[in-house]
Chain A
Amino acid sequence: MNASKATLTACVAALALLAGCHEPVSVTVYEAGEYKGESDPLLKAHAKSESKEALQKRFSMGQSDR
């Protein structure tokens, strides 16, 4: 009787422990040479010519020997 009680307690304990092992799973399937990270909103915003021109203006204002 004691042995089975011991095993029962051990099983319950083990289950309890395992319960804490659950992790939210997010797996990225890797493919060579491909970026799989989050998409950066900057890419789209920066591809516009207004963005480039603003930066060119900023450069002339700040980094030339005025």
Chain B
Amino acid sequence: MKLVKKTGSGSAATQPSSGFLGRSIDRRAFLKRTGLAAGGAAVAIGLPAKMMRRADAADAAAADGDTVIKKSVCTHCSVGCGVIAEVQNGVWTGQEPDFDSPFNLGAHCAKGASVREHGHGEKRVKYPMKKVGGKWERISWDQAINEIGDKALEIRERAGPDSVYWLGSAKFSNEQSYFYRKFAAMWGTNNVDHQARICHSTTVAGVANTWGYGAMTNSYNDMHLSKAMFFIGSNAAEAHPVAMQHVLRGKENGGKLIVCDPRFTRTAAHADQYIRLRPGTDVPLIWGILWHIFENNWQDDEFIRQRVFGMEDVRKEVANWTPEVVENVTGVPGDQVKQAAQTMVENKPGTLVWCMGGTQHHVGNNNTRAYCILQLALGNIGVAGGGANIFRGHDNVQGATDFGVLSDSLPGYYGLAEGSWKHWCRVWDVDFEWVKSRFDQGAYEGKDAPIPVMNTNGITVSRWIDGVLEAKENIAQKDTIKAMFMWGHAPNSQTRGPEMKKAMETLELLVIVDPYPTHSAVLPDRDDGIYLLPAATQYETCGSVTASNRSLQWREKIIEPLFESLPDHTIMYKFAKKFGFAEQFTKHIQVNGEEPLVEDILREINRGMWTIGYTGQSPERLKLHLENKHTFNTTTLKAEGGPCDGDYYGLPWPCWGTPEMKHPGSPNLYDQSKTVAEGGLPFRANFGVEYKGQSLLSDGSYSKGSEIQDGYPEFTADLVKQLGWWNDLTEDEKKAAEGKNWKTDLSGGIQRVVIKHGCAPFGNGKARCVVWNFPDPVPIHREPLYTPRRDLVEKYATYEDRKTFWRLPTRYKSIQEQDFSGDYPLIHTSGRLVEYEGGGEETRSNPWLAELQQHMFAEINPKNANDLGIKDGQDVWLEGPEGGKIKVKAMVTRRVAPGVVFTPYHFGGWFQGQDLPDKYPEGTAPYVRGDAANTAFTYGYDSVTMMQETKVSLCKITAA
């Protein structure tokens, strides 16, 4: 033992590591967090013995195999981090950083760094299971498909195809998403939806109705060039950690970071300015900022004149939002609002980022449009470093949204009109009348001219429980929902837990298709009628995935599906066979055994997705990008030399025309400094050519190289003829394009020729600030349905109740006019944790992640905690005004303001204080379980999209 006295080292050793503010790290506190002091080490013996054995088994098998490298993409969020897997003898033995990927440059957050655990799959559903007499029984795939299929067909016969709800997933690959929508169409219902409904549906509706497409306009990488970054309702440090790499690089390049959030989040900790606002007051805050901009004449007049419609109407509304009014409603002091406005004006280009904090409100479509209008006023759209940077959630929610796994559209946002159905029937090469016959032939909406159910919006995922529980006469379809397919979708991400439990118990059939059992397996108290089908994860199959910035990436298959799981598209094919439409389903798609060929599905997509330009991303081009990731510039995403020279990474849509045309993709939307052939675009002329006598086309503003040096409408064959460009089409193209437009011309000739002449196929219009077909044409403020500010409810009242909205009666005023603030005085809001994703079953079953967040908790401000007599770490009951209550640990912190309580929504496996490990099939209960936050959340749905209001409700806290 060496004991050498060192001069000066004594002081270094005894003085704890100081530095920031001279605060020391107490080792006991450090220990506590390591879980060692809390007996976590004891668990080291009990728990992982099995795990260690499994790893040993894997190692033993693999030790003598050659290592094969497979490349995939993380399945946890929309940043799309590259994953490199080392596989030996079919076992996933190592994970390496993907330095070549321009999106993450090798980086991962906790979830991305843990994906190899999917290859262990300890807690996965291993084989099809059925609940019989209260117990889970193993069954074969054939038995499962037959029994489920028979029941579904029986319900179809008796109650109609709309009584079976096909809930899909944002974690489907693009091909699976498209396939699923086709499946639901051929089954004969529009009752199909996925997570985007409860995530960014208000974004897509609000933004698309403002300037054409509802997607992220720039990219994460583009933020290196932003001189101001305005985050509102986005906690990127926890929800999109690797995106923070780009944000912080932008900050180091001189960008100013402003974060608006009711909580002082981990993102706010890096902000130059932090603004704390009351949940549900986004529009007042934005209008407050815009008030300063108009007051001081800081807006970009030229941009507005040429490319924006309706800003004067916005000015009228904004004039109401003086600093005093803004402070009263939002709680933000006047000088902070002015400072934010000044920062945005003085530091351009500036980008605006938002997430659930802005979207998950019953006025979500107002919020998203307000954000767009602010950026339009500043002239920050269509420039590198600017844009409306919408951070999407799950890894392929962008793709699933684009492919119409939605109750109000077919793939490509074509909608549900007859013309759209005919377009897709042509692409699918099936008879339109046959598809029509698959639907219920009734019509339940449209008083004077009844609209067939095939052309009406289906029920949304946020309301599916009402589709089950509501009286049959009140629903605009033949009968209530009797069978529910929860396919890659957890239930604990939707509100009103107690009613959901009841709905699940009322169903005649509940089928869960997922790699993990999910909270759906344990929530209902029922002895039978539930099936569990093991789906394979995206690492066990191949396919393409669309990141938030619209880039597509190809995933290679890393390992064969574990246990008896099957890829989603194989399961869809099996059901299609059972239901008798397999032939139409895979008409031009090769099927190997029972697995449809993924590349063929993508080729069919390329033949039909003209509206948003998913036509140029062929499997070959995407695989070429996969092989040459390192050639792409990490800021502009453009390939500089190499086999993909000139392309943008992932060919971000719109990638116009056929793959032969080799369009490079559009990295920044609405950027007129580039030609359309190089990826530039004007605003889409989506709303007609004029409104109330005023032109909706752009005024003298056009893309570089455009032959029409002014605004123009979207292109039809006739317009092309009028311009004298018709003869630029080939004979084959002319045949296909005759009488069609840029969206329905299957040859792509119209798009090709229009782009050749420097124009955008979708026209050149103005962005509009007034959406005349929305309940609030100019966004206004309406208080949340459950609000503590009764003094504001009269002036900023919500909407009237509606008799039929997305097939269901929907309440607004009848809820808001009741005063719950006496009994439920605290504002309840929710959000994400970095260690978990979504409903949480998958990540809470991963020991490496579960160890980091072992308890469900609620953040409570010290003032409220002291008033209620609650200490940090104590068990408390959190109860919502509709009776849902959850038992959680109190985390007393100043992160939340007094009067606001925050809960993470990833927990499940408990119900109202009761842990339910025994209700899981043997060996599948996640390591960490907890009460679901959404059990206590309440009714409230967006006035356009049925988005649920999970960012603002009321609650009360009592000691447990």
Contact = CB atoms under 8 A, between A and B. Distances in A.
Judged by CB atoms under 8 Å, the answer to whether A and B touch is yes
Interface of A: 32-33, 61-62, 65-66
A34 to B, nearest CB: 10
A32 B249 contact: no
B225 to A, nearest CB: 14
Contact of A62 (B1, B106, B249): B106
Contacts of B97: 62
B2 interface: yes
Contact of A33 (B2, B99, B106, B249): B2
B99 A65 contact: no
A66 B634 contact: yes
B719 interface: no
B720 interface: no
13 contacts: A32-B1, A32-B2, A33-B1, A33-B2, A61-B99, A62-B97, A62-B99, A62-B105, A62-B106, A65-B249, A66-B99, A66-B105, A66-B634
Task: Determine chain A's interface SS by DSSP, over half rule.
Answer: loop
Contacts of B634: 66
A33 B97 CA distance: 39
B629 to A, nearest CB: 12
Contacts of B2: 32-33
Interface string B86-123: 00000000000101000001100000000000000000
Contacts of B99: 61-62, 66
Nearest to A32: B1
Contacts of B249: 65
Interface of B: 1-2, 97, 99, 105-106, 249, 634
Given A61-B99, A65-B105, 11 more contacts: A32-B1, A32-B2, A33-B1, A33-B2, A62-B97, A62-B99, A62-B105, A62-B106, A65-B249, A66-B99, A66-B105
B737 to A, nearest CB: 44
Nearest to A65: B249
A66 B98 CA distance: 13
A27 to B, nearest CB: 18
A8 to B, nearest CB: 44
A65 B248 CA distance: 11
Nearest to A33: B2
A32 B3 CA distance: 10
A56 B634 CA distance: 22
B242 to A, nearest CB: 13
A33 B249 CA distance: 47
What are the 8 tightest A-B residue pairs by CB atom distance, in nearest-first order?
Answer: A62-B99, A33-B2, A62-B106, A61-B99, A66-B634, A66-B105, A65-B249, A32-B1
A65 B249 CA distance: 8
B200 to A, nearest CB: 29
A17 B106 CA distance: 60
Contacts of B105: 62, 65-66
A61 B106 CA distance: 10
A61 B97 CA distance: 11
A58 to B, nearest CB: 9
Contacts of A65: 105, 249
Contacts of B1: 32-33
A35 B634 CA distance: 48
Nearest to B105: A66
Contacts of A32: 1-2
B773 to A, nearest CB: 46
B719 to A, nearest CB: 45
A60 to B, nearest CB: 10
A42 B97 CA distance: 23
Nearest to A61: B99
Nearest to B97: A62
Contacts of A33: 1-2
A60 B105 CA distance: 12
A61 B105 CA distance: 9
